[in-house]
Amino acid sequence: MKWPAFAYARANSLEEAFALKRAAGADAKWIAGGQSLLVSLAYRLQAPGALIDISRIAALHGVAEAGAGLRIGAATTHAKLGADALIGARAPLLAQAAPLIAHAAIRNRGTLGGNIAYADPASELPACLVALGATIVAASPRGERRIAAADFFVGLFETALAEDEIIVAVETPAPPAGSAIDEIARRPGDYAMAGLAAAFDIESGRLAHARLVFFGVGGAPVHAVRASTALTLHGVAAAQAALAGDLAPQGDHQASGDMKLHLARVLTRRVAQAALGPGSLAA
Amino acid sequence: MSAPRTPESLGLSRADLPNSYIGRSVPRPTARKLVEGRATYTDDVSLPRMLHAVFVRSPHAHARIASIDVARAAAAPGVVRVFTGADLAKVCDPWVATLAHLKGMKSAPQYALPLERATWQGEAVVAIVADTVAHGEDAAALVEIDWAPLPALADIETALSPETPVLHAELGDNLVFTRTADTGGVDEAFANAAHVVEATFVSGRHTGVTLEPRSILADFNRAEGMLTVWHSTQAPHMMQGVFAKQLRLPESDVRVITRDVGGSFGVKVHVYPDEMAVAAMARVLGRPVKFVADRFESFVSDIHARDHRIKGRIAVDADGRILGFDIDDLTGIGPYSVYPRTSAIEGNQVVNLCGGPYDFKHYRCTTTVVLQNKTPTCQYRAVGHPIATAVTEGLVDLAAERLGLDPIELRRRNLIRDDAYPFTSPPGMRFEGLSHHAALDKLVAMVEPEKLRAEQAALRARGVYRGLGFASFIELTNPSPFMYGIGGARISAQDGCTVRMDPDGSVVAMSGVTEQGQGTEAILAQIVAHGVGVPVERVKIVTGDTRVTPYGGGTWACRGAGIGGEAALQSAVALREQLISVAAAILQAAPETLDVAMGEIVDRASGSSRMPLAELGRLVYFRGDTLPKDAPREFVQTRHFITKDYPFAFTNGVQASWLEVDVETGLVRLLKHWVVEDCGRIVNPKLVDEQVRGGVVQGIGGALYEQCVYDAEGQLRTTTMADYLVPLAADMPDIAVGHVETPTRESLLGAKGAGEAGTAGAPAAVMNAINDALRPFGAKLFAQPFTPERILTALGRVAPR
Ligand SMILES: Cc1cc2nc3c(=O)[nH]c(=O)nc-3n(C[C@H](O)[C@H](O)[C@H](O)COP(=O)(O)OP(=O)(O)OC[C@H]3O[C@@H](n4cnc5c(N)ncnc54)[C@H](O)[C@@H]3O)c2cc1C
């Protein structure tokens, strides 16, 4: 199909973006990398009157140290997430997530801000941000506000963002001692049937303070609180058992709900094993 | 010249002749334009005054059209005209897809656009013709259709039960076709057999996914009374006849032009109602109308295939001799049989092909073909073969397991002996010459199963599960009129080629077979160069224009090399003889002392040059006054070829798959794949190998990934490339290909088809390898595709849905 006709304007600053938005009205949408938005236009699932391109706004660019963590501009592409040295050192979970997102061509255009604004429940980055305890920085004509990642992802393709807000950046806290991401997809690059982003400490050969956040198993990233606690207190088997209380996945045509729960358990073991080293779980 | 021609006299197996191109991997002349983006696909053709067609498609699997209001759409910007089924029925007649030799077959009339009911989700219902596609799509959203949903026929198992509504009342029931092949004695053989094993197989509904979608551009020139159609099709002449008949035009007033085609796989050999609508609208408007399906439309309107449930049993004696097969096939084809090949052929092939590689006595196989409210199914690469091969080879492996025999050994005991030909199979297929044992021996040497078995055992001890699976197969190629013609379809089994020499000594060959990206034009050039005696660069090939090429069937069922290639060879050899006879008159030499080699008339004995062909061309075309008065002046020859001794030229082969199953996630990693096949004389080894590899990948697609998933209401859930998974290059294993060459004696060239062998055997090999990997768990899978969920369910790790 062809896109429905729309007006297009590129904003060079946040102020200009807000002015354009005010002029264009409620059916104007921000466009960043276009990798999700343009697909939905091609299917004519939506027909915005105007697209306001925010991908060149300077305030959305750049990766910088902020306190013990990082401030990562919303316009940072997935490819950059995977390649940036600072991110690799201070938020390695995001760097590890990047190659799991789609394919190279999409990673070259798709952005962190667009990805989390779109809030696909099978998306890697939202789960990573929840696992890291990151903060989303949003700007609007009313000013800037900070939203904890755990509060940001409200449901299926739904976020705490107001319609006229722009995600400017993501702030990550001091990196956890350990983090890992793994997922199970039909083919490399596909959205996962189930995935797990985890942050943890390692204390005397055990995982501690684990935050296990699953994706592809609910409407939004699911912080598996019971399993996270069980992993710390009782180990992997207990965490796997506890997952039944944390997750109630709906099936899709690739995987039933029961299968997603099964895969979540497999991922829990794999992530724990990878963190602790081979043979660690044999006992 | 009067001595009979033989493959030897033509030097077909001699690589030492300078222009001996047959058997050489000559690079294909079309490759460069394809990779440089200089091909001409149908969508690349743009005509003055051209319009674009956009279709409103049914959102329901089955619904009555209570009313259609097109007023707002017709008034939308850029819209030229809006057509409903009733509008098009005035200029385009409906068709019924049955074949007389498929006894008792029935189907309902199908219109370009339906009159009263939509019968599958995605069926085109209203057509908009506009100046741009975008305007057409804007207008499509304004068409108001008042739908009255009807119950959808989604389950094939209940299609024939009395409580199920009949889809087309005039047919009386939902049965399209049924046939049983029965040698007799089956019940007795099974009752007395040492072992009987059985399984229920499922072949998932899938589709072709051509890189270039279906595309058509039709123009009716009122001043000439001519309908010209640029069409991405496999069969231009067939479509010429179809357009003419349905639009009530003389066949000679229709011209179909097929330039480059970006893959077809059987998808583009059928009559599609939306394409008929485009031709009809061009006829009405007197303007060019283009339609290029988008991917969403492809998924809901390209033919689907292979939606089968098969119950099978095999009986073996205590020594592992196969006594018989007993098979019950059930398939759903959508609401209409597809014109003109019909949708009953796939089931019919299952009946013809099960048990095919083996020598056994008792056979009973029934196919039951029923209607559904889903996208129509029809012939797709290797029609019926992957299904029959999976059933046969799945049962053979089960028997081997029961007997405690190595699967290779069981096959050795039962494959038809290589010296047993001619051989007629229990369902009546006649084999001229196959090489199952030679192929298996060669495969075993390539695979080295002992090494893999040792590796398998070692890895199992560490919780890694690898499996090795085999599949022997036969493939039906070079079809005669027994396939379609005898059933009354105007589908040509013969094909022709016209070869001419131009004044500069170059050669142009016009062939009725077509190029879909598989390299047909490359092998035609090789064959013509070889046959005439010129360098291959001096040959230009013309295909895909009904006004220009000899009448032919096009590309289907593996016939390009075997039928089209033979016509090319015979016409080329005839041209060579003509060149020699004219040259002999000019040179005052006896024709038997001359030959043509590398573009020169040469002395046959010494090979020394007597005259370049360009000189012969100059004399004949420009200085005819210098020739003897009665010297012939034709440098053009046409030959047509059809097979006569055998209804089909069967080929054979065997495949092996080595893979690893992750028993925690159900994911399958393909490690290596081997194929040995026998397609008779190989014209171009590289093209044959790549056909085999591509075919294997397409077979793997059906085995592991591809499935058109419908819900219980008949809604297709897989309408994007993110939901309908195709195999990705990075996930494919290395595919080693070996050959045995048993040329058919029906032709000089001796070539049979090679395009479907890979697809025919790959799913069975993968299935057997998965079941081999899972043997320690006692888990078995027979339902394709073998998805992670199915594997985990078979392992008892997740609950069945
Ligand atoms: C084939 C394919 C496979 C994919 N696979 C994956 C995958 O495996 N995992 C995965 O995570 N993603 C996947 N994606 C999606 C990809 O990650 C997208 O890049 C991402 O979802 C959207 O980012 P974008 O910059 O392209 O946003 P756009 O498409 O431009 O915008 C998406 C939405 O976000 C809004 N938006 C964009 N930027 C902002 C902002 N700064 N502030 C507020 N709103 C904003 C837009 O208005 C729009 O509604 C896939 C995409 C494709 C096409």
For ligand 1, say whether the CB of A124 is within 6 Å of any of its atoms: yes
Q: Are B192 and B244 in contact (CB under 8 A)?
A: no
Domains B31-39+494-641 and B385-478+650-794 fall in the same CATH topology: yes
Q: What is the DSSP letter of B701?
A: I
Predicted confidence band at B13 (pLDDT cuts at 50, 70, 90)? low
Nearest Cα residue to atom 34 of ligand 1: A114
**Start-to-end Cα distance in chain A:** 56
Domains of chain A plus CATH, in order, are 7-53 (3.30.43.10), 58-172 (3.30.465.10), 178-276 (3.30.390.50)
| Interacting residues of B104 by C-beta distance below 8 A, sequence separation 6+ | B177, B178
Pairing mode of beta strands B362-370, A63-66: unpaired
Mean pLDDT computed over B450-477: 98
pLDDT score for A281: 60
Percent of chain B's residues with pLDDT above 90: 96
pLDDT score for A276: 86
Question: Does B718 contact A at CB distance below 8 Å?
Answer: yes
Cα-to-chain-centroid distance, residue B499:
27
Mind listing the pLDDT tens digit for each residue in B131-165? 999 999 999 999 999 999 999 999 999 999 999 99
pLDDT per 10-residue tile (average), chain A, 283 residues: 93 98 94 96 93 98 96 98 97 98 97 98 97 98 98 97 97 96 96 97 89 97 97 95 98 96 98 83 48
B:689-708 residues touching chain A, CB 8 A cutoff? 705
For ligand 1, say whether the CB of A74 is within 6 Å of any of its atoms: yes
For ligand 1, say whether the CB of A39 is within 6 Å of any of its atoms: yes
Given CATH 3.30.365.10, say whether it is the number of domain B31-39+494-641: yes
Question: Does A44 contact B at CB distance below 8 Å?
Answer: yes
What does each C-alpha distance from A154 to A35, A112, A222, A228, B169 come to in angstroms? Answer: 22, 17, 11, 21, 51
Mind listing the pLDDT tens digit for each residue in B164-196? 999 999 999 999 999 999 999 999 999 999 999
For testing contact with chain B, the best of A259, A260, A269 (most B CBs within 10 A):
A259
Question: Does A152 contact B at CB distance below 8 Å?
Answer: no
Q: Are B243 and B219 in contact (CB under 8 A)?
A: no
**Nearest residue to B208 via CA among B269, B270, B264:** B264
Name the residue in chain A with its Cα closest to that of B790: A255
- How is chain B split into domains, by residue range? 31-39+494-641, 43-150+213-261+267-301, 385-478+650-794
Mind listing the pLDDT tens digit for each residue in B526-560? 999 999 999 999 999 999 999 999 999 999 989 99
The CATH number that domain B43-150+213-261+267-301 falls under is 3.90.1170.50
Per-residue tokens: B454: 């040792």
Is the pLDDT at B2 greater than 80? The verdict is no
Mind listing the pLDDT tens digit for each residue in B597-629? 999 999 999 999 999 999 999 999 999 999 988
For ligand 1, say whether the CB of A240 is within 6 Å of any of its atoms: no
For ligand 1, say whether the CB of A102 is within 6 Å of any of its atoms: yes
Q: Are B740 and B442 in contact (CB under 8 A)?
A: yes
Taking contacts as CB-CB distances below 8 angstroms, the residues of chain A near B77 are none
What does each C-alpha distance from B138 to B50, B132, B166, B201, B719 come to in angstroms? Answer: 18, 10, 36, 45, 21
For testing contact with chain A, the best of B715, B724, B798, B801 (most A CBs within 10 A):
B798
Q: Do A266 and B665 count as a contact with CB atoms less than 8 A apart?
A: yes
Mind listing the pLDDT tens digit for each residue in B116-140? 999 999 999 999 999 999 999 999 9
Taking contacts as CB-CB distances below 8 angstroms, the residues of chain B near A256 are 789, 798-799, 801
Residue length of chain A: 283
Ranges A198-207, B245-254, B348-357, B498-507: which has the least confidence: A198-207
ipTM of the complex: 0.96
Other C-beta atoms closer than 10 Å to the C-beta of A53 total 17
What's the rounded Cα separation, in Å, for the pair A233 and A219? 28
Mind listing the pLDDT tens digit for each residue in B61-119? 999 999 999 999 999 999 999 999 999 999 999 999 999 999 999 999 999 999 999 99
Average pLDDT, chain B: 96
With 0-12 CB in 10 A as exposed, 13-18 as middle and 19+ as buried, what is B48? exposed
Nearest Cα residue to atom 23 of ligand 1: A114
Burial of B752-781, coded b for 16+ CB within 10 Å and e otherwise, reads bbbbbbbbbbbbbbbbbbbbbbbeeeebbb
Q: Are B551 and B43 in contact (CB under 8 A)?
A: no
For testing contact with chain A, the best of B57, B132, B299, B664 (most A CBs within 10 A):
B664
Taking contacts as CB-CB distances below 8 angstroms, the residues of chain A near B797 are 262
Nearest Cα residue to atom 28 of ligand 1: A34
pLDDT score for A282: 46
For ligand 1, say whether the CB of A118 is within 6 Å of any of its atoms: yes
SS3 B702: helix
Q: Do B723 and A253 count as a contact with CB atoms less than 8 A apart?
A: yes
pLDDT score for A211: 97
pLDDT score for B12: 73
For a pocket test of ligand 1, which of A3, A20, A29, A37 has the largest count of ligand atoms closer than 8 A to its C-beta?
A: A37
Q: Do B798 and A191 count as a contact with CB atoms less than 8 A apart?
A: no
Q: What are residue B630's phi and psi, to 5 degrees? A: -95, 10
For ligand 1, say whether the CB of A167 is within 6 Å of any of its atoms: yes
Mind listing the pLDDT tens digit for each residue in A144-161? 999 999 999 999 999 999
For ligand 1, say whether the CB of A183 is within 6 Å of any of its atoms: no
Taking contacts as CB-CB distances below 8 angstroms, the residues of chain B near A44 are 137, 141
Q: Do B801 and A190 count as a contact with CB atoms less than 8 A apart?
A: no
Predicted confidence band at B3 (pLDDT cuts at 50, 70, 90)? low
For ligand 1, say whether the CB of A152 is within 6 Å of any of its atoms: no
User: Largest alpha-carbon pair distance within chain A?
Assistant: 65
Taking contacts as CB-CB distances below 8 angstroms, the residues of chain A near B728 are 187-189
Question: Does B91 contact A at CB distance below 8 Å?
Answer: no
pLDDT score for B1: 44
Q: Read off the pTM.
A: 0.97
Closest atom, ligand 1, to C-alpha of A111? 25
Is the pLDDT at B18 greater than 90? The verdict is no
Taking contacts as CB-CB distances below 8 angstroms, the residues of chain B near A184 are 665, 667, 788
pLDDT score for A283: 39
Query: What are the start-end ranges of the E strands in B258-307?
Result: 289-292, 304-305
Closest atom, ligand 1, to C-alpha of A166? 42
Question: Does B158 contact A at CB distance below 8 Å?
Answer: no
Question: Does B734 contact A at CB distance below 8 Å?
Answer: no
Pairing mode of beta strands B430-431, B423-424: antiparallel
Mind listing the pLDDT tens digit for each residue in A79-89? 999 999 999 99
Q: Among the residues of B114-204, which ranges form H helices? A: 133-140, 186-192
Q: Do B725 and A190 count as a contact with CB atoms less than 8 A apart?
A: yes
Cβ-Cβ pairs closer than 8 A, A with B, add up to 63
User: Nearest 10 degrees: CA dihedral of B701, B704, B706, B709?
Assistant: 170
pLDDT score for B16: 62
CATH for B385-478+650-794, among 3.30.365.10, 1.10.357.10, 3.40.640.10, 3.90.780.10?
3.30.365.10
Question: Does B799 contact A at CB distance below 8 Å?
Answer: yes
Question: Does A43 contact B at CB distance below 8 Å?
Answer: yes
* Sheet with strand B79-83: strands edge to edge: B79-83, B124-130, B51-57, B289-292, B215-221, B226-231, B254-257
Q: Do A184 and B787 count as a contact with CB atoms less than 8 A apart?
A: no
Q: Do B134 and A5 count as a contact with CB atoms less than 8 A apart?
A: yes
Backbone angle region of B517, left / alpha / beta, with phi > 0 → left and psi within -120 to 50 → alpha: left
- Distance between A213 CA and the closest CA of chain B, angstroms: 19
